Amino acid sequence: MACGVMLGTLAFWKLTDYMDKVRDEFMLLSVVREIRDAYIDEVPRSVLVDNAIRGVVAGLDNHSSYLDEDALALMEEDTLGHFGGIGVELELVDGYFTIVSPYDGGPAARAGIRAGDRLVEVDHESLRGRSLTETINGLRGEPGTAVHVRVRRRAATSLDFDLKRDTITVPSVHGRALGGGIGYVRVSQFNDTTGDDLAVVVAGLRAGDGLTGLILDLRNNPGGLLNAAVDVADAFLGRGVIVSTTGRQPVSERRYDANPGDLLEGAPMAVLINGGSASASEIVAAALKDHDRATVLGTKSYGKGSVQSVMYFRDTRAIKLTTARYLTPDGHSLQAEGVAPDVAVTPRDDEASGAYDERLLAAATTAVMGG
């Protein structure tokens, strides 16, 4: 009898929960219908639905977003790896359009725009009220065309830049020998070919003067594909966990382990990071740090430790939804925490970027030679 009462109570609560969900969804539909029928101006139903979805997603985190036709086109451009623009990775952070990282060699980087700058105007028009997609569309355009941007740096300091758009081809991997058997490898993003590109670059350095140590530069690397990050970390780790993901759905629970083998055969490493190192670059830095495979130098990384999944509802409509979080080999979340360097090397206020690079490389070289 007691068992029957318990089962009956459980069924009642399940039914109550189901009815609550139905009422909530019906209320949302009722609001859309009321606006469609009673608002002073006629609004197409497709616009109302788009706005409703956009509003629901906007209440989530900074990395979840509604992807309409324009936003999907931007995402496809990023996947192809080339487009016309000023060369910045832009995100909405605490309500501000924030430059996560300027791409190496792009118009923004050449002009002196930095990671952390807040974009406030494009072509002398305030960005207040604009969406992230609208803002990115305003920055992109035909190579050779002019665009004026205003950024806010630190407190209330505003800086103006007159830029010419260029064809932005986001590089993946390049390297050079620094002398004394020390190699330098720069990974600017993580795409489909990054793992293979890295292997080719390292092989070329080894075939030259040989490699007794390597400096891996992940500064201003906004991230990219998770599998590419796993490939890069795996290239230098012979065993152990690289990264794991955790979320509400069982499919979100995954673990990525290193395979035997090390491109450097145990030669010491240093990894360079800064506030523009995000997502996939943080996965690599954390994995090499947690396994004591490399000394991490520079400044604290960005702190994007979440996984986004793209869910398509129509051919031209989708949502990018945060579905999981990354965990480092030591079990720590990267979200909002980032990776702290083993050796902090902070740029001085009056220090030119070239002078800082030299000082940071000198510190990394010392760490590698002492490793």
Angle, alpha carbons 15-19-20 (nearest 5°): 120
Contacts of 251 (CB under 8 A, 6+ apart): none
Task: Based on DSSP, count helices (H) and strands (E) in the chain, helices before strands.
Answer: 9, 19
Q: Which residues are catalytic?
A: 279, 290, 304
Nearest to 139 by CA among 83, 190, 198: 83
Whether 93 has a pLDDT exceeding 90, the answer reads no
Give the pLDDT band (50/70/90) at residue 70. Answer: confident
Nearest to 133 by CA among 87, 73, 56: 73
Contact between 136 and 119 (Cβ < 8 Å): no
Q: How much of the chain, in percent, has pLDDT values that exceed 70?
A: 92
Q: What is the largest CA-CA distance in the chain?
A: 82
Residue-wise pLDDT for 125-159, tens only, equals 999 988 888 899 899 988 999 999 999 987 768 89
Q: Work out the average pLDDT over 278-292.
A: 97
Give the pLDDT band (50/70/90) at residue 50. Answer: confident
Strands (E), the chain: 65-67, 82-85, 88-93, 96-102, 118-122, 125-126, 146-153, 157-164, 166-169, 173-179, 182-187, 213-217, 241-246, 254-257, 269-273, 294-298, 306-314, 317-327, 343-344
Whether 315 has a pLDDT exceeding 80, the answer reads no
Contact between 216 and 233 (Cβ < 8 Å): no
Return mean pLDDT, the chain: 88
pLDDT at position 199 is 95
Nearest to 178 by CA among 371, 363, 351: 363
Distance CA 189, CA 288 (A): 17
Q: How much of the chain, in percent, has pLDDT values that exceed 90?
A: 55
Q: Work out the average pLDDT over 307-324.
A: 87
**R_g of the chain computed on alpha carbons:** 24
Query: Which one is predicted more confidently, 92 or 77?
Result: 92
DSSP string over 131-150: -HHHHHHHH--STT-EEEEE
Beta partners for 5?
Answer: none
Most confident of 58-62, 111-115, 295-299, 302-306: 295-299
Could you tell me the two tokens for 292?
A: 């004591």
pLDDT at position 310 is 87
Contact between 317 and 325 (Cβ < 8 Å): no
In angstroms, the Cα distances linking 3 to 10, 11, 13, 203 are 11, 12, 16, 68
Whether 1 has a pLDDT exceeding 80, the answer reads no
Distance CA 302, CA 277 (A): 6
Q: Work out the average pLDDT over 163-171.
A: 83
Whether 161 has a pLDDT exceeding 90, the answer reads yes
